[in-house]
Structure formats: C-alpha cells, structure tokens
C-alpha cells in the first residue's frame, strides 16, 4: 500500500525492518549459543583450576607462616618451618582431594552414609524407631 506521495506505508516499512532484524538476531543467537556452551565449559574448568591453585597456595602459606612463628617463638629454626611446610602441603593436598572428589565445601562434610541417611548423626534415632526393642 502506498500513501499519497507513492512512498510505502510507514507501518509496513517498520514491520519489514523488524522482521529483518529478528531474523538477523535469531541467526546470531544460534551461533552465540554454540559458542557460549563451549566458553561456559572453558570458564568452568578455569574456575576449578584457579580454586585448586588457591587451595594449594593458601595451605602452603598458612603452614609456612605458622612454622616460621613456631621457629621464632621456640627458637628451633629451621625445624618449625620444615614442619609447617609439610603440614601445609598435607592440608593443601587434602583440600585438592576434596575439591576433585566434590566432597563439599564445609569442613567435616561426610556425604550420605551407607544406610541412605544424609548424615550419620541420627543412627540412634533410627534404631529406636525401627520397631525393635532392646530388653526394656
């Protein structure tokens, strides 16, 4: 449809421009979705690598720091530093093990037990409520 001067209707022109823009955006969003999935996987891996590195460095630093303080306090240099180094290395290895096995973030997290409980602290309650009585 044309108006008085022979130019197209502004609403039809707007509609056609919107369609072209949507088609162009749909094509880009499909490509971006494929690229986004691979970049999310890369970022997830980098995040895990940085977390592991941070766990190791922090454990070493704390262990060596406490070892140095032990050396200064007890005047036993360099044995406190050596002890702190090995304790820090062990703590770092334990933290990396926890991260690698996805054992949780909280200290003392034990995961589900063999009998299906989420934690092992209510075994006594389970024994009392299973219907069996103990000579009482």
Q: What is the pLDDT of residue 112?
A: 60
| Residues whose CB is less than 8 angstroms from the CB of residue 83 and which lie 6 or more positions away in sequence, other chains included | 67, 70
Q: What is the per-residue pLDDT for 45? A: 84
Contact 56, 46 (CB under 8 A): no
Q: Quick one: pLDDT at residue 35? A: 65
Specify the 3-state DSSP secondary structure of 2.
strand
**Contacts with 78 (C-beta within 8 Å, 6 or more apart), sequence order:** 71
Query: What's the pLDDT score for residue 59?
Result: 95
Q: pTM of the prediction?
A: 0.49
* Model pLDDT, residue 106: 58
**Residue 33: helix, strand or coil by DSSP?**
helix
pLDDT for the residue numbered 38: 74
Rounded-to-integer distance, Cα 110 and Cα 119, Å: 7
User: Which two three-digit tokens encode residue 88?
Assistant: 């820090």
CB 56, CB 92: distance < 8 Å: yes
The 8-class DSSP code of residue 105 comes to S
Averages of pLDDT over runs of 10 residues in the chain (136 residues) are 63 90 78 67 85 93 95 92 95 90 64 57 50 50
Closest CA to 95 of 109, 114, 111, 76: 109
């Amino acid at each position: 449809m044309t108006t008085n001067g022979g130019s197209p209707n502004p609403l039809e022109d707007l509609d056609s421009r919107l369609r072209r823009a949507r088609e162009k955006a749909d094509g880009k969003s499909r490509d971006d979705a494929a690229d986004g999935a691979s970049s999310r996987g890369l970022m997830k891996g980098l995040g895990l690598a940085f977390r592991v590195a941070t766990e190791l460095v922090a454990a070493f630093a704390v262990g060596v720091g406490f070892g140095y303080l032990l050396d200064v306090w007890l005047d036993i240099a360099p044995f406190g530093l050596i002890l702190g180094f090995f304790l820090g290395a062990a703590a770092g290895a334990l933290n990396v093990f926890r991260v690698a096995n996805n054992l949780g973030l909280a200290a003392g997290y034990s995961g589900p037990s063999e009998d299906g409980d989420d934690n092992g602290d209510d075994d006594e309650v389970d024994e009392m409520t299973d219907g069996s009585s103990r000579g009482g």
